[in-house]
Amino acid sequence: MALKLNSKQQAQLQFLEPFARQLVTMSSLIEQMSAPKVDEQIGRNLLRIASSTKVNCMGLGLARMADNLGQLEQTARRTGGGLARLRTLREVHTALKQAYDVAMKQATTELGHGDEEEPTGDAPAGGAH
């Protein structure tokens, strides 16, 4: 039986399915940065992937992934730091994978009948005086 997903979930799922390949690419780039002589292009590639993906995540409401990608982007921009920078990149990448798993689960979980998204607001329903 096919899952009944809302339009937001369908858009997120369309983005998340191919994103697994980008996670592998980012992991590979981070490991290449651990080499004794690293070409600056590797860091720029990681930065490019992180920044473009972050924009897509923000547009789809994947805030946790966007935050992790922002941290990855910020760390990739940092100069020096060798091992500390590399460790931070690995830790943030691990957090990104965890956020991806959570987002994938939420995007593929069918909403119940009463679980439709409701607009959130601070104003009380009905005119309280």
Question: How does pLDDT run across 48-93, given as a tens digit for each residue?
Answer: 999 999 999 999 999 999 999 999 999 988 877 678 889 999 999 9
State percent of the chain over pLDDT 90. Answer: 51
Which pLDDT belongs to residue 74?
Answer: 92
Evaluate whether residue 23 is within a structural domain. yes
Evaluate whether residue 91 is within a structural domain. yes
pLDDT tens digits for range 37-53: 877 888 899 999 999 99
Evaluate whether residue 2 is within a structural domain. no
pLDDT tens digits for range 23-41: 999 999 999 988 878 778 8
The separation between the first and the last C-alpha atoms of the chain, rounded to the nearest angstrom, is: 49
Evaluate whether residue 118 is within a structural domain. no
Show the domain range for 74: 8-108
Q: Tell me the mean pLDDT in the region 10-21.
A: 91
Evaluate whether residue 114 is within a structural domain. no
Evaluate whether residue 40 is within a structural domain. yes
HSE-CB of 35 using CA atoms within 13 angstroms: 10
Evaluate whether residue 22 is within a structural domain. yes
Query: Mean pLDDT, the chain, as a whole number?
Result: 83
Alpha-carbon separation of residue 14 from 57, 63, 108, 110, 129 (angstroms): 12, 17, 11, 15, 45
| Total number of domains constituting the chain | 1
